[in-house]
Amino acid sequence: MPNFTEKAIKETFLKLLEERPLSQITIKDIVEECGINRNSFYYHFADLPTLIEEIVTEQIDTLIQEYPTIDSMEQCIDAALAFALQHKRACLHIYNSLNREIFERYLMKECEYVVTTYFRTVFPNINIKKEDQEIIIAYHKFICYGAIIDWLNKGMQDDLKAAFLRLSELGRGITAEMVSRSLEG
């Protein structure tokens, strides 16, 4: 559980990220907005990338707690997009910064968690080769990741949730068919 100062730093940073690009945010801006000194910031975080990584890691931990099982593509979508939809500008500012790699790495982890949890919930006792299971999960993970990256590249203008829901309608049964083919082979 983060202490009060750490929580204030994170909230202030996200607030500032909603207002302006990451390149225009300094530690000085954060500490002045929080009403703390620089030493307090450095007690909790080494630098801005460390702060970003901590926030993103915290979001993944929250995702795991809130979604121990995922039994529908709709729930997959809700889980994967929850933070991004709530903090659109902040996500876009991180994505369009020099810290994009941190964002992409954790987005991939998030997509992997969501898809793996969905697969294990829907097919709990399926007995297919481990390699096939990994391929099926990777296939869906890359679709999820690719769609979100494309959405970010387009400035988050499209209704990604609606597009994902339509994709899930069009692809209904694909995962079960892949599992079925794995059982046959």
Dump pLDDT digits (tens) for 10-43: 999 999 999 999 999 999 999 999 999 999 999 9
Please choose, from the candidates 46, 20, 21, 16, the residue with its C-alpha nearest in 3D space to the C-alpha of residue 33: 16
Return the SS3 of 80.
Answer: helix
Extract long-range pairs of 36-45: CB within 8 Å, 24+ residues apart.
36/5, 36/8, 36/9, 40/5, 40/9, 41/9, 43/5, 44/5, 44/6, 44/9, 45/9
- 46 in Cβ contact with 87 (< 8 Å): no
Give the residue among 105, 116, 28 at the shortest CA–CA distance from 67: 116
The whole-number pLDDT of residue 66 equals 87
1 confidence band (pLDDT: 50, 70, 90): very low
pLDDT at 50: 94
Q: What distance in Å separates the CA atoms of residue 11 and residue 6, rounded to the nearest whole number?
A: 9
* Side chain identity at residue 130, one-letter code: K
Q: Where in the chain is the domain with CATH 1.10.10.60?
A: 1-45
Indicate the CATH number for domain 1-45: 1.10.10.60
pLDDT over 70 (residue 185)? no
For the entire predicted model, the pTM comes to 0.84
Q: Where are the beta strands (DSSP E) in 27-134?
A: none
Whole-number percent of the chain with pLDDT over 90: 54
Higher pLDDT, 169 or 45: 45
Residue 77 binned pLDDT confidence (cut-offs 50, 70, 90): confident
